[in-house]
Amino acid sequence: MIKISPSILSADFAELGAEVRAVEAGGADYIHIDVMDGHFVPNITIGPFIVKAVKAVTELPLDVHLMIENPECYIPEFAAAGADIITVHAESTVHLNATVAEIKKLGKKAGVSLNPSTPVCLLEEVIGELDLVLVMSVNPGFSGQSYIQSSTAKVRKVRKMLDEAGSKAELQVDGGIKISNIAEVAAAGADVFVAGSAVYGSDDYKATIEALKNAAAK
């Protein structure tokens, strides 16, 4: 099933509650929350307080993407704030296996993300434990960047790894997803699509979410 996870990084933060409710009403499947610390990526965004505030205004699962160094130090706080899926970067934590186990111990879904230059073999030893793999299709830090074309081949590789492992994990892609390119990424095997500027930059969130889903289903 194709899912759309609008990234609130492109929302109007002064109207955050309304912006979250609007994509929920528009057919979004998750709310994607980009957490950045100014170290792992060159931007600072959202912490657990905002996650808690978003939790209070939506029934949708919160898809929390941690772009922070040593995410293991903050996982309990994000779990308590209401994160449903917690995704960490393989590059950001030394003991990835332990970090994934910590997320699952707290009863949350565990995701692992790879930067564009990170090889898929980093997933090999943890793949059986994962609920989600996130292939970054831009260098993380900002919304509104262009899709890196080589990501499609990478998605195909991860799809093969998941299938061979008998894994039911979702395969998410994040960065530069638009109505014009979602079909090729879906055909490569992705099933969850983060869309920041494509959704929040449009005039009609519902129509855009529908168009993204329709294009991906082709």
Residues that bind Zn ion (CB under 5 A): 34, 65, 174
Please work out, in degrees rounded to the nearest 5, the angle formed at the alpha carbon of residue 34 by the alpha carbons of 65 and 83.
Answer: 55
Which residue lies nearer to Zn ion by CB, 24 or 174? 174
Provide the minimum distance between the beta carbon of 164 and ligand DX5 in the complex, in angstroms, as a whole number. 27
Which residue lies nearer to Zn ion by CB, 165 or 197? 197
Distance CA 162, CA 189 (A): 10
Burial of residue 139 (CB within 10 Å: 0-12, 13-18, 19+) is: middle
34 is catalytic: yes
Amino acid at 86: I
Of the residues 29, 34, 37, 63, only one is catalytic, namely: 34
Amino acid at 79: A
Strand order in the sheet with 3-6: 3-6, 192-195, 170-174, 132-136, 109-114, 85-89, 62-67, 31-36
Selection from Zn ion, ligand DX5, none that 54 binds (CB < 5 to 8 A by kind) is: none
Q: Which residues pair with 171 in a beta bridge?
A: 133
Provide the minimum distance between the beta carbon of 11 and ligand DX5 in the complex, in angstroms, as a whole number. 10
Of the residues 29, 63, 131, 174, only one is catalytic, namely: 174
Selection from ligand DX5, Zn ion, none that 197 binds (CB < 5 to 8 A by kind) is: ligand DX5
Distance CA 172, CA 214 (A): 17
Which residue lies nearer to Zn ion by CB, 65 or 109? 65
Provide the minimum distance between the beta carbon of 19 and Zn ion in the complex, in angstroms, as a whole number. 16
Which residue lies nearer to ligand DX5 by CB, 32 or 55? 32
Q: Where do contacts with ligand DX5 occur on this chain (CB under 6 A)?
A: 7, 9-10, 32, 34, 65, 138, 140-145, 174-177, 194-198
Provide the minimum distance between the beta carbon of 166 and Zn ion in the complex, in angstroms, as a whole number. 27
Selection from ligand DX5, Zn ion, none that 71 binds (CB < 5 to 8 A by kind) is: none
29 is catalytic: no
Q: Which residues pair with 31 in a beta bridge?
A: 62
Q: Which residue is nearest to ligand DX5 (CB)?
A: 196
Cα distances (Å, whole numbers) of residue 71 to 33, 36, 90, 112: 15, 11, 10, 11
Which residue lies nearer to ligand DX5 by CB, 113 or 167? 113
Provide the minimum distance between the beta carbon of 143 and Zn ion in the complex, in angstroms, as a whole number. 8
Strands (E), 94-186: 109-114, 132-136, 170-174
Provide the annotated active-site residues.
Answer: 34, 174
